[in-house]
Structure 1
Amino acid sequence: MTLISSPVIIDTDPGIDDALALYLALASPQLDIKAITVVYGNSSIKDTTRNLITLFDVIDKEIEYFKNASPPNNDLHPEEWERERRILLNRFEWSKPVVAIGADKPMKATEHLAVDFHGLDGFGQIHTTHPHYTPKDLKNLKSNRYVMSSQDAIDEILTQLKNAPPFTITIIALGPLTNLALAYKKDKRTFSRVKQIICLGGAINSHGNTTPCAEFNFYADPHAANIISEATKGFSPLITVQNKIERLRRRDLVPLHFTVLPINVSCSFLLSSKDFTNYVTSLNTPLSIFMTAFMDYAFNKMRNYYGVYSLEMHDPVAVAFAIDILSNKSLAYTSEYVDMKIETQGIYTRGMTIVDSRPKPPSLDLNKSKTLERDFGIWSHLYATNVEVITSYDYKLFIGDFLKRVFNVDLFEY
């Protein structure tokens, strides 16, 4: 049976959980990663770019290690070890993305970086504590695992969408949405060729992780998040691809399919320090040593901040969710279509995700009726259902699948 991979662009601000998400994506044959576009966020654009290049460099170190590695224990039969070694050697061979550097600041808001949690370098200070993992010459570094784009991230996103058949490329957004909003503003028709945007962001009907009411990605650039949210006006899941293509031929704007995975859903997936130590740190390979350096930093932060010794797996869950959606699996998830805006001006409410929860008349069939437009000034649409929000996601085997795919280890409970 031939595995069909789905073309994606990953827009990311490589910090600690982004690194886990990217390794999961790169180890997943279901994804054909056309481009990885970098944005500021967990740290400065200089640091997030360096972190991404470091991730690839560590893969090269890992592969070199396994070319001549001995079996981890004497009980393993040589033939069995050879099968495992081939899996470990080939696990990151599925994609060779273009890497493009994007926005270094939000569109209008004052800059806010997540260095309080991720460290000044975005990676728990490992470029200081473990300098041997940092590539010496980032500008001239050559790798067979990616190609540096001659364009910035905004133009690279548009080029990828323009050169692909319409509505085939999905964007997985793991950081502030600045790159996406700038690409949309620059060329709305080309950007509207995107199949779907799957975004880790927002705190809906829950507290935030940056302020009491805002999640980090939406807080970092609320204007960008709101631009993408507003670009969904008129979207309906009932619209067919053929209908969208006809709109493109008429040079009409096609509403975006924007799927939001809020942190109040993704926060239920936890990787414990105990499991990480037992199943990853114990491997003592270049990748496990590298990952342990910044994960220990993150576990200590979680213990100091929240009294728990585990890490919420927000970004990796978003990648896993995207894989499941794109693989057309029958998933244990629920979603609803809502009208959503992002607060851009509030002092205490900046980045807050606001969903219109006003009751609808029981006689109104939104599948047959057009969205009502009224001149409210601030909120001009009534009964709109254009943004897809994930309300639950039940992936019981997530941690086991993550460890199996990235490290080829079996979790005890798996």
Structure 2
Amino acid sequence: MSGHPDGPGLPLVIDTDTAADDCFALLVGLLDPRADLRAITMVAGNVGFDQQVENAFLTLELAGRAGQVPVHRGARQPLVQPWISAEEVHGDGAGGLRRTGDDRPDAEPAQDALVRLAEQHAGELTVVAIGPLTNLALAVRRDPAFASRVRELVVMGGSLNGRGNVTPAAEYNIHVDPEAAQIVLDAGFPSIRFVTWDPLSLQHAVFDAGRIERIRRLGTPLGDFFVRANQASFDFDVAMGVGGSVHCDTLAVLLALDPALAEVERRYDVAVELAGTHTRGATVFDWHAPRGGNATAIERIDGERLFEYVLRLLSR
């Protein structure tokens, strides 16, 4: 890895609710030479919206990319229901670290930036959505042709087997705005690839205490940032019996750049439960896929390869 490419990389937008693993996912988009990160778009999710924006700018600074990638503010609330915080998981999402610069978000709203970039890079743009899908749904509403112009949408969200992490059935990113998720699934994106919470992330994207210690021993600024920003999530996940912190957002961005990382994937017809008393926000992956499937779920990746990649990224 030699840093941001001199030549063109994959035109990329990361739509994020920046906290902990989202920050590390941004580092992939900012530092991997295969990526040409055109924008960071912010959506209501993990922590307070203004804190998320601060965390995005902090990550830009730490990557040595301050002032080089625009940050666009998007939806501060889901389409229908009130915002649901995950601050009990992430704290402030940055381990108390603060940026030193004073860069400000771009005046263009996130949904407008998404529509514009999809038009400018028609058939080439990849969008990685690692938060709730509100901004994507608003872009679909803004321009019916938006979805068809995006080469690929990678979504971190949902669960293949009905196991949630907020409710018994619902994963956080989908649970926060299930209406938005269904709009995105119905929009006609040429390719949607899901990085699910369970089983994919829980089986292949967990960093246990031994892995965190290897990162700590790097002694680099990025390694120190990772350990500090990750601590709250690590403690929460371990207390929940996961065995370490889960790095599905980082995995999602890496899969956009390196599709071969996926060892097993399968087509599904995917829908979101919008009305269930106990299952609202659950993703239903129909393995029969009678219509040929509207999305692909990645079912297995090389978890050791993911960790070694992160280790190299943070050793810079």
Same fold (TM over 0.5): yes
Q: Which moved more, 1:316-325 or 1:27-36?
A: 316-325
Q: Alpha carbons of 1:136 and 1:405: their partners in 2 closer, same or farther (altered >3 Å)?
A: closer
Deviation readout 1:287-346 (Å, 9 max, x if unpaired): 3333322222222222322273x2121111111211112xxx4x5522222221101222
Q: Is the 8 A contact 1:338 1:386 kept in 2?
A: yes
Letter in 1 for 2:212: F
SS in 2 for 1:15: coil
User: Residues of 2 paired with 1:307 and 1:17: CA distance?
Assistant: 15
Partner of 1:302: 237
Note if contact 2:255-2:262 (Cα within 8 Å) is conserved in structure 1: no
Query: Which of 389, 403, 408 in structure 1 is aligned with 2:311?
Result: 403
State how 1:358-373 maps to structure 2 within 5 Å: none
- How far apart in 1 are the matches of 2:12 and 2:60? 18
**Are 1:28 and 2:38 counterparts?**
no
Distance 1:314 1:307, change over 3 A: closer
Give the alignment partner of residue 274 of structure 1, picking from 210, 213, 224.
210
Q: Is the deviation greater in 348-357 or in 14-23?
A: 348-357
**Do the aligned partners of residues 332 and 101 (structure 1) sit closer, same or farther apart at CA in structure 2, a change above 3 Å counting?**
closer
Q: Does structure 2 retain, via aligned residues, the 8 Å contact 1:36–1:100? A: yes
Q: Deviations for 1:220-261, whole angstroms, at most 9, x for unmatched residues?
A: 1100111011123xxxxxxxxxxxxxxxxxxxxxx5421112
- The aligned counterpart of 2:52 is 48
Check if 1:335 corresponds to 2:262: no
Shift of 1:211: 1.2
What is the correspondence of 1:100-249 to structure 2 with a 5 Å cutoff?
Answer: 100-119=72-91, 121-123=92-94, 126-127=95-96, 133-135=97-99, 141-142=102-103, 148-164=105-121, 166-232=122-188
Moved over 4 A (4+): none
Distance of 1:390 and 1:270 partners within structure 2? 16
Letter of the 2:63 partner, please give it.
I
Which runs of no fewer than 5 residues in structure 2 stay unpaired? 1-5
Kindly state the Cα deviation for residue 349 of structure 1 after the two structures are TM-superposed.
0.6
**SS, match of residue 217 in structure 2:** helix
Aligned residues: 309
Q: What is the TM-score with the length of structure 2 in the denominator?
A: 0.89
SS in 2 for 1:203: coil
After TM superposition, the score normalised by the length of structure 1 is: 0.69
Q: Secondary structure at the match of 1:198?
A: strand
Q: Determine if contact 1:149/1:156 at 8 Å carries over to the other structure.
A: no
Bigger-Rg structure (1/2): 1
Output the CA distance in 1 between the equivalents of 2:234 and 2:138. Answer: 35
Q: Matched residues in 1 for 2:133 and 2:298: separation? A: 18
Residue aligning to 2:297: 389
**Do the aligned residues in 2 keep the contact of 1:214 with 1:352 (CA within 8 Å)?**
yes
Q: CA deviation at 1:194?
A: 0.7
